[in-house]
Amino acid sequence: MKKTVSKMRNALKGSALALLAGMMTTAALSVPAMAADFNLRAVANSNENDEDYDGLIVFKDFVEAHSNGKIKVDLFIGTQLCGNGTECIQAVEDGSVDIYISTSGGAANMFPYIQVLDLPYVLPDDRTAEAVLQGDFVRELRKAILADTDNKLRLMAIGNTGGWRNFANTKRTVKSPGDMEGLKIRTVVADLPQELVKALGASPTPIPWPELYTSFQTGVVEGSKNGITDIMGMKFPEAGLKYVTLDGHAYMSALWYMNNEVFLDMPADLRKVVVDGFRALQQATFASPKRKSIAAYEAFKKSGGKLYVPTPEEKAAFQEAAAPVYIWFQENVEDGKKWFDLLQSESDKAQQQIAAADKADLS
Protein backbone atom coordinates (compact mmCIF):
# COMPACT_ATOMS: atom_id res chain seq x y z
CA MET A 1 0.00 0.00 0.00
CA LYS A 2 2.78 2.39 0.98
CA LYS A 3 4.60 1.68 -2.31
CA THR A 4 1.41 2.42 -4.27
CA VAL A 5 0.87 5.76 -2.50
CA SER A 6 4.53 6.67 -3.02
CA LYS A 7 4.23 5.94 -6.74
CA MET A 8 1.08 8.08 -6.96
CA ARG A 9 2.80 10.97 -5.17
CA ASN A 10 5.80 10.75 -7.50
CA ALA A 11 3.51 10.66 -10.55
CA LEU A 12 1.57 13.70 -9.31
CA LYS A 13 4.84 15.49 -8.49
CA GLY A 14 6.18 14.76 -11.99
CA SER A 15 2.96 16.02 -13.59
CA ALA A 16 3.07 19.19 -11.53
CA LEU A 17 6.68 19.85 -12.48
CA ALA A 18 5.89 19.21 -16.15
CA LEU A 19 2.92 21.60 -15.94
CA LEU A 20 5.05 24.25 -14.25
CA ALA A 21 7.79 23.87 -16.87
CA GLY A 22 5.19 24.22 -19.61
CA MET A 23 3.75 27.35 -18.01
CA MET A 24 7.23 28.88 -17.67
CA THR A 25 8.02 28.12 -21.32
CA THR A 26 4.74 29.66 -22.44
CA ALA A 27 5.42 32.72 -20.31
CA ALA A 28 8.94 33.07 -21.69
CA LEU A 29 7.68 32.88 -25.27
CA SER A 30 5.02 35.49 -24.59
CA VAL A 31 7.54 38.05 -23.27
CA PRO A 32 9.19 39.99 -26.12
CA ALA A 33 13.00 40.19 -26.28
CA MET A 34 14.43 43.35 -24.78
CA ALA A 35 14.93 45.90 -27.55
CA ALA A 36 18.28 47.66 -27.85
CA ASP A 37 18.45 51.31 -26.87
CA PHE A 38 20.48 52.11 -30.00
CA ASN A 39 20.48 50.41 -33.42
CA LEU A 40 23.52 51.27 -35.55
CA ARG A 41 23.48 50.71 -39.32
CA ALA A 42 27.06 50.15 -40.52
CA VAL A 43 27.91 50.16 -44.24
CA ALA A 44 30.99 48.96 -46.13
CA ASN A 45 30.94 49.05 -49.96
CA SER A 46 33.03 45.89 -50.17
CA ASN A 47 32.51 42.16 -49.59
CA GLU A 48 32.95 39.56 -46.87
CA ASN A 49 36.53 38.79 -47.98
CA ASP A 50 37.64 42.34 -47.26
CA GLU A 51 39.47 43.79 -44.27
CA ASP A 52 36.55 46.19 -43.77
CA TYR A 53 34.26 43.25 -43.09
CA ASP A 54 36.78 41.74 -40.67
CA GLY A 55 36.80 45.01 -38.76
CA LEU A 56 33.03 45.32 -38.68
CA ILE A 57 32.57 41.79 -37.36
CA VAL A 58 34.95 42.59 -34.48
CA PHE A 59 33.20 45.93 -33.86
CA LYS A 60 29.73 44.37 -33.82
CA ASP A 61 30.74 41.60 -31.42
CA PHE A 62 32.58 43.97 -29.08
CA VAL A 63 29.93 46.68 -28.93
CA GLU A 64 26.94 44.38 -28.53
CA ALA A 65 28.65 42.34 -25.81
CA HIS A 66 30.16 45.22 -23.83
CA SER A 67 26.94 47.24 -23.95
CA ASN A 68 24.97 44.26 -22.57
CA GLY A 69 22.72 44.41 -25.61
CA LYS A 70 21.93 48.13 -25.28
CA ILE A 71 23.56 48.70 -28.67
CA LYS A 72 22.72 46.58 -31.71
CA VAL A 73 24.84 46.78 -34.86
CA ASP A 74 23.38 45.81 -38.24
CA LEU A 75 25.90 45.27 -41.05
CA PHE A 76 25.18 46.19 -44.68
CA ILE A 77 28.02 44.90 -46.86
CA GLY A 78 27.87 46.12 -50.45
CA THR A 79 25.68 48.82 -51.93
CA GLN A 80 22.30 48.08 -50.33
CA LEU A 81 21.96 51.46 -48.58
CA CYS A 82 24.34 53.66 -50.60
CA GLY A 83 26.60 53.14 -53.58
CA ASN A 84 29.82 55.19 -53.33
CA GLY A 85 31.91 57.37 -51.05
CA THR A 86 30.13 60.66 -51.65
CA GLU A 87 26.66 59.14 -51.44
CA CYS A 88 27.43 57.14 -48.31
CA ILE A 89 29.12 59.99 -46.46
CA GLN A 90 26.09 62.17 -47.18
CA ALA A 91 23.90 59.35 -45.87
CA VAL A 92 25.86 59.37 -42.59
CA GLU A 93 25.46 63.15 -42.38
CA ASP A 94 21.68 62.99 -42.86
CA GLY A 95 21.30 60.01 -40.49
CA SER A 96 20.07 57.32 -42.88
CA VAL A 97 23.36 55.48 -42.23
CA ASP A 98 25.17 55.55 -38.87
CA ILE A 99 28.64 54.20 -39.70
CA TYR A 100 30.60 54.13 -42.95
CA ILE A 101 34.15 53.39 -44.11
CA SER A 102 35.88 55.11 -47.03
CA THR A 103 39.36 55.33 -48.46
CA SER A 104 41.02 58.73 -48.57
CA GLY A 105 40.40 58.81 -52.33
CA GLY A 106 36.72 58.09 -51.77
CA ALA A 107 36.33 61.23 -49.67
CA ALA A 108 38.91 63.54 -51.26
CA ASN A 109 36.31 65.41 -53.32
CA MET A 110 34.56 66.43 -50.07
CA PHE A 111 37.64 66.86 -47.86
CA PRO A 112 40.66 67.50 -50.12
CA TYR A 113 43.10 67.62 -47.21
CA ILE A 114 42.43 63.93 -46.52
CA GLN A 115 44.74 63.26 -49.49
CA VAL A 116 47.59 63.90 -47.05
CA LEU A 117 47.24 60.19 -46.20
CA ASP A 118 48.21 59.34 -49.79
CA LEU A 119 51.43 61.35 -49.79
CA PRO A 120 54.14 58.86 -50.80
CA TYR A 121 56.81 57.51 -48.46
CA VAL A 122 55.91 59.76 -45.47
CA LEU A 123 54.85 56.70 -43.47
CA PRO A 124 57.70 54.21 -44.02
CA ASP A 125 56.36 51.04 -42.37
CA ASP A 126 53.52 49.42 -40.43
CA ARG A 127 54.81 50.32 -36.98
CA THR A 128 55.09 53.98 -37.88
CA ALA A 129 51.73 54.12 -39.64
CA GLU A 130 49.90 52.36 -36.82
CA ALA A 131 51.44 54.66 -34.20
CA VAL A 132 50.52 57.81 -36.16
CA LEU A 133 46.96 56.61 -36.80
CA GLN A 134 46.34 56.12 -33.08
CA GLY A 135 47.47 59.60 -32.09
CA ASP A 136 46.81 63.31 -32.33
CA PHE A 137 46.96 63.40 -36.12
CA VAL A 138 43.59 61.61 -36.27
CA ARG A 139 42.11 63.91 -33.62
CA GLU A 140 43.07 66.95 -35.73
CA LEU A 141 41.46 65.36 -38.80
CA ARG A 142 38.33 64.71 -36.72
CA LYS A 143 38.11 68.38 -35.75
CA ALA A 144 38.48 69.50 -39.37
CA ILE A 145 35.84 67.09 -40.68
CA LEU A 146 33.39 68.04 -37.92
CA ALA A 147 33.90 71.71 -38.77
CA ASP A 148 33.41 71.11 -42.49
CA THR A 149 30.17 69.14 -41.97
CA ASP A 150 28.52 71.43 -39.42
CA ASN A 151 29.24 68.86 -36.68
CA LYS A 152 27.43 66.04 -38.50
CA LEU A 153 30.26 63.67 -39.49
CA ARG A 154 32.62 62.29 -36.85
CA LEU A 155 35.85 60.50 -37.78
CA MET A 156 36.06 57.62 -35.31
CA ALA A 157 39.22 55.79 -36.37
CA ILE A 158 41.60 55.16 -39.25
CA GLY A 159 42.49 51.55 -39.98
CA ASN A 160 43.82 49.72 -43.01
CA THR A 161 42.18 48.27 -46.09
CA GLY A 162 44.59 46.18 -48.16
CA GLY A 163 48.06 46.76 -46.76
CA TRP A 164 50.38 49.00 -48.83
CA ARG A 165 50.18 50.38 -52.33
CA ASN A 166 53.02 49.13 -54.50
CA PHE A 167 53.80 49.64 -58.17
CA ALA A 168 52.89 46.70 -60.39
CA ASN A 169 53.13 46.35 -64.16
CA THR A 170 52.97 44.01 -67.14
CA LYS A 171 56.31 44.97 -68.74
CA ARG A 172 59.41 44.78 -66.53
CA THR A 173 60.92 44.74 -63.06
CA VAL A 174 61.03 48.28 -61.68
CA LYS A 175 64.08 48.98 -59.49
CA SER A 176 64.36 52.75 -59.87
CA PRO A 177 62.25 55.73 -60.94
CA GLY A 178 63.96 55.51 -64.33
CA ASP A 179 62.38 52.11 -64.89
CA MET A 180 58.94 53.76 -64.62
CA GLU A 181 59.62 55.94 -67.66
CA GLY A 182 56.80 55.75 -70.20
CA LEU A 183 54.66 53.15 -68.39
CA LYS A 184 50.92 53.79 -68.51
CA ILE A 185 49.86 53.47 -64.86
CA ARG A 186 46.23 53.21 -63.81
CA THR A 187 45.15 55.73 -61.17
CA VAL A 188 41.88 56.79 -59.63
CA VAL A 189 40.30 60.06 -60.74
CA ALA A 190 42.13 62.16 -58.15
CA ASP A 191 44.90 64.71 -58.52
CA LEU A 192 47.46 63.46 -56.02
CA PRO A 193 48.03 59.91 -57.37
CA GLN A 194 48.24 61.33 -60.88
CA GLU A 195 50.86 63.83 -59.74
CA LEU A 196 52.87 60.99 -58.18
CA VAL A 197 52.85 58.91 -61.36
CA LYS A 198 53.93 61.93 -63.42
CA ALA A 199 56.72 62.77 -60.96
CA LEU A 200 58.13 59.26 -61.45
CA GLY A 201 58.16 59.62 -65.24
CA ALA A 202 55.15 57.42 -66.04
CA SER A 203 51.80 58.33 -67.61
CA PRO A 204 48.76 58.42 -65.28
CA THR A 205 45.66 56.86 -66.82
CA PRO A 206 42.41 57.07 -64.83
CA ILE A 207 40.47 53.82 -65.30
CA PRO A 208 37.40 52.63 -63.33
CA TRP A 209 38.24 49.66 -61.10
CA PRO A 210 35.84 47.21 -62.82
CA GLU A 211 37.51 47.93 -66.18
CA LEU A 212 41.09 47.39 -65.01
CA TYR A 213 41.34 43.66 -65.83
CA THR A 214 40.45 44.13 -69.50
CA SER A 215 42.60 47.28 -69.61
CA PHE A 216 45.64 45.17 -68.71
CA GLN A 217 44.69 42.60 -71.35
CA THR A 218 44.32 45.19 -74.10
CA GLY A 219 47.28 47.35 -73.12
CA VAL A 220 45.18 50.42 -72.32
CA VAL A 221 47.25 50.51 -69.13
CA GLU A 222 50.47 48.67 -68.28
CA GLY A 223 50.56 49.07 -64.53
CA SER A 224 48.77 50.07 -61.34
CA LYS A 225 49.43 51.02 -57.73
CA ASN A 226 47.67 48.41 -55.59
CA GLY A 227 48.06 46.10 -52.63
CA ILE A 228 48.80 42.43 -53.25
CA THR A 229 45.45 41.20 -51.91
CA ASP A 230 43.62 43.38 -54.43
CA ILE A 231 45.91 42.19 -57.21
CA MET A 232 45.23 38.55 -56.48
CA GLY A 233 41.57 39.05 -55.57
CA MET A 234 40.99 40.47 -59.04
CA LYS A 235 43.19 37.81 -60.73
CA PHE A 236 45.28 40.48 -62.44
CA PRO A 237 48.20 38.08 -63.18
CA GLU A 238 45.86 36.27 -65.57
CA ALA A 239 45.51 39.59 -67.41
CA GLY A 240 49.29 39.99 -67.71
CA LEU A 241 50.32 41.74 -64.48
CA LYS A 242 53.62 40.00 -63.68
CA TYR A 243 55.92 42.46 -61.90
CA VAL A 244 55.46 43.98 -58.42
CA THR A 245 57.95 46.32 -56.77
CA LEU A 246 57.44 46.48 -53.01
CA ASP A 247 58.18 50.18 -52.64
CA GLY A 248 55.30 50.68 -50.18
CA HIS A 249 54.64 54.22 -51.30
CA ALA A 250 51.27 54.60 -49.56
CA TYR A 251 49.57 53.02 -46.57
CA MET A 252 46.03 52.06 -47.62
CA SER A 253 44.15 53.99 -44.96
CA ALA A 254 40.51 53.27 -44.15
CA LEU A 255 38.58 56.13 -42.55
CA TRP A 256 35.67 55.12 -40.31
CA TYR A 257 32.95 57.72 -39.81
CA MET A 258 29.89 57.88 -37.54
CA ASN A 259 26.93 60.22 -37.37
CA ASN A 260 27.99 62.67 -34.68
CA GLU A 261 24.49 63.30 -33.32
CA VAL A 262 23.87 59.57 -32.83
CA PHE A 263 27.21 59.26 -31.04
CA LEU A 264 26.61 62.23 -28.73
CA ASP A 265 23.04 61.11 -27.94
CA MET A 266 24.48 58.06 -26.20
CA PRO A 267 25.25 58.21 -22.48
CA ALA A 268 28.94 58.47 -21.63
CA ASP A 269 29.30 54.79 -20.73
CA LEU A 270 27.99 53.68 -24.13
CA ARG A 271 30.09 56.25 -25.99
CA LYS A 272 33.09 54.65 -24.27
CA VAL A 273 31.96 51.24 -25.52
CA VAL A 274 31.69 52.57 -29.07
CA VAL A 275 35.12 54.24 -28.92
CA ASP A 276 36.66 51.05 -27.56
CA GLY A 277 34.84 49.10 -30.27
CA PHE A 278 36.44 51.22 -32.96
CA ARG A 279 39.83 50.61 -31.35
CA ALA A 280 39.18 46.88 -31.57
CA LEU A 281 38.06 47.32 -35.19
CA GLN A 282 41.22 49.29 -35.95
CA GLN A 283 43.45 46.57 -34.52
CA ALA A 284 41.61 43.94 -36.57
CA THR A 285 42.14 45.90 -39.79
CA PHE A 286 45.80 46.50 -38.95
CA ALA A 287 46.30 42.74 -38.62
CA SER A 288 44.05 41.38 -41.36
CA PRO A 289 46.12 42.48 -44.41
CA LYS A 290 49.31 41.08 -42.86
CA ARG A 291 47.77 37.62 -42.64
CA LYS A 292 46.00 37.72 -46.00
CA SER A 293 49.07 38.98 -47.85
CA ILE A 294 51.06 35.83 -47.01
CA ALA A 295 48.87 33.60 -49.17
CA ALA A 296 48.47 36.35 -51.77
CA TYR A 297 52.23 36.72 -52.29
CA GLU A 298 52.64 32.95 -52.54
CA ALA A 299 49.86 32.74 -55.11
CA PHE A 300 51.41 35.61 -57.08
CA LYS A 301 54.78 33.84 -57.26
CA LYS A 302 53.16 30.53 -58.21
CA SER A 303 51.39 32.29 -61.08
CA GLY A 304 54.77 33.33 -62.47
CA GLY A 305 54.85 36.76 -60.86
CA LYS A 306 58.12 38.49 -59.98
CA LEU A 307 58.52 40.36 -56.69
CA TYR A 308 61.24 42.94 -56.17
CA VAL A 309 62.18 44.57 -52.84
CA PRO A 310 64.06 47.85 -53.32
CA THR A 311 67.23 48.42 -51.31
CA PRO A 312 67.19 51.35 -48.84
CA GLU A 313 69.16 53.37 -51.40
CA GLU A 314 66.68 52.55 -54.17
CA LYS A 315 63.71 53.44 -51.98
CA ALA A 316 65.39 56.76 -51.13
CA ALA A 317 65.67 57.43 -54.87
CA PHE A 318 61.92 56.86 -55.26
CA GLN A 319 61.21 59.25 -52.39
CA GLU A 320 63.48 61.90 -53.86
CA ALA A 321 61.80 61.59 -57.25
CA ALA A 322 58.38 61.95 -55.57
CA ALA A 323 59.31 65.23 -53.84
CA PRO A 324 57.34 67.39 -56.32
CA VAL A 325 54.15 65.77 -55.02
CA TYR A 326 54.78 67.27 -51.57
CA ILE A 327 55.13 70.71 -53.15
CA TRP A 328 52.01 70.19 -55.26
CA PHE A 329 49.97 69.21 -52.20
CA GLN A 330 51.09 72.22 -50.16
CA GLU A 331 50.42 74.64 -53.01
CA ASN A 332 47.13 73.25 -54.33
CA VAL A 333 45.22 71.97 -51.28
CA GLU A 334 43.84 74.42 -48.76
CA ASP A 335 45.93 74.22 -45.57
CA GLY A 336 48.10 71.72 -47.41
CA LYS A 337 51.28 72.84 -45.66
CA LYS A 338 49.62 72.47 -42.26
CA TRP A 339 48.56 68.89 -42.97
CA PHE A 340 51.84 67.89 -44.59
CA ASP A 341 53.86 69.31 -41.68
CA LEU A 342 51.59 67.61 -39.14
CA LEU A 343 51.80 64.18 -40.77
CA GLN A 344 55.56 64.49 -41.25
CA SER A 345 56.15 65.58 -37.65
CA GLU A 346 53.95 62.79 -36.25
CA SER A 347 55.76 60.28 -38.47
CA ASP A 348 59.15 61.56 -37.30
CA LYS A 349 58.05 61.38 -33.67
CA ALA A 350 56.78 57.82 -34.06
CA GLN A 351 60.01 56.73 -35.77
CA GLN A 352 62.07 58.20 -32.93
CA GLN A 353 59.98 56.35 -30.34
CA ILE A 354 60.30 53.11 -32.30
CA ALA A 355 64.07 53.56 -32.59
CA ALA A 356 64.32 54.13 -28.83
CA ALA A 357 62.22 51.05 -28.15
CA ASP A 358 64.34 48.98 -30.52
CA LYS A 359 67.52 50.14 -28.80
CA ALA A 360 66.15 49.08 -25.43
CA ASP A 361 64.89 45.75 -26.73
CA LEU A 362 68.04 44.87 -28.66
CA SER A 363 70.57 45.69 -25.96
Q: Mean pLDDT across the stretch 15-22?
A: 45
Alpha-carbon gap, residue 190 to 109, rounded angstroms: 8
Q: Which of 7-21, 84-98, 183-197 has the highest mean pLDDT?
A: 84-98
Please tell me the predicted confidence (pLDDT) of residue 191.
86
Domain residue spans of the chain? 38-362
- Across 105-195, the runs of DSSP E, i.e. the strands, are 153-169, 184-187
Please tell me the predicted confidence (pLDDT) of residue 335.
96
The predicted-structure confidence for 130-148, as pLDDT tens digits, reads as follows 999 999 999 999 999 999 9
Please tell me the predicted confidence (pLDDT) of residue 35.
87
Contact assessment for residue 170 and residue 243, using Cβ atoms and an 8 Å cutoff: yes
Please tell me the predicted confidence (pLDDT) of residue 105.
85
**Contacts of 49 by beta carbon, 8 Å cutoff, 6+ apart:** 233
Residue 349 — φ and ψ, nearest 5°? Answer: -65, -45
Please tell me the predicted confidence (pLDDT) of residue 21.
46
Percentage of residues of the chain with pLDDT beyond 90: 84
Alpha-carbon gap, residue 62 to 77, rounded angstroms: 18
Alpha-carbon gap, residue 243 to 222, rounded angstroms: 10
> How many beta carbons lie within 10 A of that of residue 46, not counting itself?
18
CATH of domain 38-362: 3.40.190.170
For residue 78, pLDDT over 80 is answered with yes
The predicted-structure confidence for 231-249, as pLDDT tens digits, reads as follows 999 999 999 999 999 999 9
Please tell me the predicted confidence (pLDDT) of residue 347.
98
Torsional sign, CA 228, 231, 235, 237: negative
The predicted-structure confidence for 53-63, as pLDDT tens digits, reads as follows 999 999 999 99
Pairing of strands 243-259, 99-103: antiparallel
Task: Specify the amino acid at residue 52.
Answer: D
For residue 9, pLDDT over 70 is answered with no
The predicted-structure confidence for 157-181, as pLDDT tens digits, reads as follows 999 999 999 999 999 999 999 999 9
The predicted-structure confidence for 97-117, as pLDDT tens digits, reads as follows 999 999 998 899 899 999 999
For residue 194, pLDDT over 70 is answered with yes
Please tell me the predicted confidence (pLDDT) of residue 356.
96
The predicted-structure confidence for 205-234, as pLDDT tens digits, reads as follows 998 888 999 999 999 999 999 999 999 999
Q: How confident is the model at residue 123 (pLDDT cuts 50, 70, 90)?
A: very high
Q: How confident is the model at residue 33 (pLDDT cuts 50, 70, 90)?
A: low
Please tell me the predicted confidence (pLDDT) of residue 34.
67
For residue 299, pLDDT over 60 is answered with yes
